Chains A and B, each alone.
Chain A
Amino acid sequence: MRKLLLFSIIVLVGITFIARLFYLQVYTGKAYNIYEDNAIRKVFYYPKRGYVYDRNGELLVANQPSYDVMIIPREVEPLDTLEFCSLLKISKDDFKKKFSRANNYSPRLPSPFVPQLSKKDYAVLQEKMWKYKGFYIQKRSLRDYQTTIGANVLGFIAEANQGEIEADGFYQMGDLIGKQGIEKSYENELRGVKGVKFIQKNRFNRDIGPFDDGKQDTIPTPGKDIIVSIDAKLQAYGEMLMQNKVGGIVAIEPSSGEILSLVSAPSYNPNLMVGRERSDNYIKLRNDSIHLPLIDKGLLRMHEPGSPFKALVALAALQEGVVDENFSVRCSGAYNYGGRRPMGCHCGTGTRNIFDGISESCNSYFATLYRRTIDKYDDASHAMDVWSSHIKSFGLGDYLGYDLSIGKKGNIPDGTYYDKMYPDFRWRATTNISNSIGQGEVLVTPIQLANMMAAIANRGHYYTPHIIKSIEGQPIDSTYTKEHHTSIDKQHFEPVIQGLFDVYNKPGGTAYFLQVPDIEICGKTGTAENFTVIDGVKTQLTDHSIFVAFAPKENPKIAIAVLVENGYFGARFAGRIASLMIEKYIKGDITRTDLEKWVMDYTLEHEYEKPTSGKPFRINANSGLMTVEQYERLKKIENEQTQTDLQ
Chain B
Amino acid sequence: MSLNRTRNFKFDWITIVLFLLLVGFGWLNIVSASSSGEITSYFDMSQPYGKQSVFILFTFVLIILVLSIEAKFYERFASVIYLVSMLSLIGLFLFGKTVNGATSWYGIGGFTLQPSEFAKFATALAVAKYISDLQTNIKTLKDQLKTALIIFVPAFLILLQNDAGSTIVYAAFFFVFYREGIPQIYLLLLLSIILLSVSALKFSVLITSIIVTVLIFVHHFFLKKKKGSILQPIFITLACIVFSFGVYFFYSNILQPHQQDRISLWLRLEKDPVKLEQMKRTILYNLNESEKAISSGGVTGKGFMEGTRTIGKFVPEQHTDYIFSTVGEEWGFLGSSFVVILFVLLLIRILHLAELQKSQFSRIYGYSVASILFLHFMINIGMVMGLIPTIGIPLPFFSYGGSGLWGFTLLLFVFVKLDSNRINEW
Interface residues of A (CB under 8 A from B): 2-3, 5-7, 9-11, 13-14, 16-18, 20-22, 24-26, 28-32, 34, 37, 39-40, 200-203, 208-209, 211-212
Take A29-B297, A39-B308 as given contacts and tell me if A6 and B328 are in contact as well, using a CB distance cutoff of 8 Å: no
Contact B306 A7 (CB under 8 A): no
For window 332-379 of chain B, which residues contact chain A by CB distance below 8 Å?
332-333, 336-337, 340-341, 343-344, 347-348, 351, 355, 367, 370-371, 374, 377-378
Interface size on B, as a range, is 35 or more
Contact A18 B179 (CB under 8 A): no
A131 to B: closest C-beta gap in Å? 23
- Which residues in B have their C-beta under 8 angstroms from that of A211? 308, 311
Contact B328 A25 (CB under 8 A): yes
CA distance A40 to B341 in the complex (A): 32
CA distance A11 to B352 in the complex (A): 13
Take A5-B178, A6-B351, A21-B385 as given contacts and tell me if A32 and B298 are in contact as well, using a CB distance cutoff of 8 Å: yes
Interface of A is mostly: helix
What are 25 residue pairs bridging A and B, where the CB atoms are less than 8 Å apart in the complex? A3-B179, A3-B355, A5-B178, A6-B370, A14-B341, A17-B381, A17-B382, A17-B385, A18-B337, A21-B328, A21-B333, A21-B336, A21-B385, A24-B294, A24-B385, A25-B294, A25-B295, A25-B299, A25-B328, A25-B336, A34-B308, A200-B308, A203-B313, A211-B308, A211-B311
A213 — nearest CB in chain B belongs to which residue? B37
Q: B312 an interface residue at 8 Å Cβ cutoff?
A: yes
A33 to B: closest C-beta gap in Å? 10
A212 — nearest CB in chain B belongs to which residue? B306
CA distance A201 to B314 in the complex (A): 9
Q: B387 an interface residue at 8 Å Cβ cutoff?
A: yes
Take A39-B309, A39-B314 as given contacts and tell me if A5 and B175 are in contact as well, using a CB distance cutoff of 8 Å: yes
Q: B220 an interface residue at 8 Å Cβ cutoff?
A: no
CA distance A211 to B332 in the complex (A): 20
Q: B117 an interface residue at 8 Å Cβ cutoff?
A: no
CA distance A466 to B171 in the complex (A): 82
Contact B347 A2 (CB under 8 A): no
CA distance A5 to B178 in the complex (A): 9
Q: B163 an interface residue at 8 Å Cβ cutoff?
A: no
Q: B291 an interface residue at 8 Å Cβ cutoff?
A: yes
| Contacting residue for A25 out of B332, B378, B381, CB 8 A | B332
Top 10 A-B pairs, shortest CB-CB distance? A14-B344, A39-B308, A25-B333, A203-B314, A39-B312, A6-B175, A202-B312, A24-B295, A17-B340, A29-B298
Interface centre among A24, A40, A201 (most CB of B within 10 A): A24
Contact B328 A24 (CB under 8 A): yes
| Contacting residue for A37 out of B294, B296, B387, CB 8 A | B296
CA distance A57 to B37 in the complex (A): 53
| Contacting residue for B311 out of A3, A11, A29, A200, CB 8 A | A200
- Which residues in B have their C-beta under 8 angstroms from that of A29? 295-299, 333
- Which residues in B have their C-beta under 8 angstroms from that of A22? 333
- Which residues in A have their C-beta under 8 angstroms from that of B295? 24-25, 28-29
- Which residues in A have their C-beta under 8 angstroms from that of B321? none
Contact B178 A10 (CB under 8 A): no
Contact A7 B387 (CB under 8 A): no
- Which residues in B have their C-beta under 8 angstroms from that of A30? 298
Contact A26 B298 (CB under 8 A): yes
CA distance A211 to B41 in the complex (A): 22
- Which residues in A have their C-beta under 8 angstroms from that of B313? 202-203
A17 — nearest CB in chain B belongs to which residue? B340
CA distance A18 to B382 in the complex (A): 11
Q: B181 an interface residue at 8 Å Cβ cutoff?
A: yes
B381 — nearest CB in chain A belongs to which residue? A17
B367 — nearest CB in chain A belongs to which residue? A6
B412 to A: closest C-beta gap in Å? 16
CA distance A14 to B348 in the complex (A): 11
| Contacting residue for A5 out of B179, B340, B341, CB 8 A | B179
Chain B 75-102 near chain A by CB (<8 Å), digits 1 or 0:
0000000000000000000000000000
A198 — nearest CB in chain B belongs to which residue? B308
Take A13-B378, A37-B308 as given contacts and tell me if A7 and B351 are in contact as well, using a CB distance cutoff of 8 Å: yes
A10 — nearest CB in chain B belongs to which residue? B347
CA distance A29 to B312 in the complex (A): 20
CA distance A381 to B232 in the complex (A): 101
CA distance A20 to B387 in the complex (A): 8
Contact A208 B175 (CB under 8 A): no
CA distance A115 to B314 in the complex (A): 32
A103 to B: closest C-beta gap in Å? 13
- Which residues in B have their C-beta under 8 angstroms from that of A18? 337, 340-341
Contact A6 B371 (CB under 8 A): yes
- Which residues in A have their C-beta under 8 angstroms from that of B351? 6-7, 10
| Contacting residue for B340 out of A14, A24, A31, CB 8 A | A14
| Contacting residue for B333 out of A7, A9, A26, A212, CB 8 A | A26
Contact A10 B355 (CB under 8 A): no
Contact B344 A203 (CB under 8 A): no
Extra contacts besides A10-B348, A13-B378 (17): CB < 8 Å:
A3-B355, A5-B178, A6-B367, A7-B351, A10-B374, A13-B377, A14-B341, A14-B344, A22-B333, A25-B294, A26-B298, A29-B296, A39-B314, A202-B314, A203-B289, A208-B312, A209-B37
B307 to A: closest C-beta gap in Å? 9
Take A2-B178, A14-B341, A212-B306 as given contacts and tell me if A24 and B291 are in contact as well, using a CB distance cutoff of 8 Å: yes
A1 to B: closest C-beta gap in Å? 10
A134 to B: closest C-beta gap in Å? 16
Contact A2 B181 (CB under 8 A): yes
Take A10-B347, A10-B351, A16-B387 as given contacts and tell me if A200 and B341 are in contact as well, using a CB distance cutoff of 8 Å: no
Take A40-B308, A202-B312 as given contacts and tell me if A25 and B297 are in contact as well, using a CB distance cutoff of 8 Å: yes
Contact A200 B179 (CB under 8 A): no
CA distance A606 to B37 in the complex (A): 76
- Which residues in A have their C-beta under 8 angstroms from that of B179? 2-3, 5-6
A2 to B: closest C-beta gap in Å? 5
A24 — nearest CB in chain B belongs to which residue? B295
A9 — nearest CB in chain B belongs to which residue? B374
B344 — nearest CB in chain A belongs to which residue? A14
CA distance A244 to B327 in the complex (A): 74
Q: B262 an interface residue at 8 Å Cβ cutoff?
A: no
A8 to B: closest C-beta gap in Å? 11
Take A5-B179, A20-B387 as given contacts and tell me if A203 and B348 are in contact as well, using a CB distance cutoff of 8 Å: no
Contact B340 A21 (CB under 8 A): yes
CA distance A10 to B378 in the complex (A): 8
CA distance A28 to B36 in the complex (A): 29
- Which residues in A have their C-beta under 8 angstroms from that of B51? none
Q: B422 an interface residue at 8 Å Cβ cutoff?
A: no
A558 to B: closest C-beta gap in Å? 61
Contact A14 B343 (CB under 8 A): yes
- Which residues in B have their C-beta under 8 angstroms from that of A10? 344, 347-348, 351, 370, 374
- Which residues in B have their C-beta under 8 angstroms from that of A24? 291, 294-295, 328, 385
CA distance A22 to B332 in the complex (A): 10
Q: B280 an interface residue at 8 Å Cβ cutoff?
A: no
CA distance A21 to B341 in the complex (A): 12
Q: B302 an interface residue at 8 Å Cβ cutoff?
A: yes
- Which residues in B have their C-beta under 8 angstroms from that of A200? 308, 311-312
B330 to A: closest C-beta gap in Å? 11
- Which residues in A have their C-beta under 8 angstroms from that of B336? 21, 25
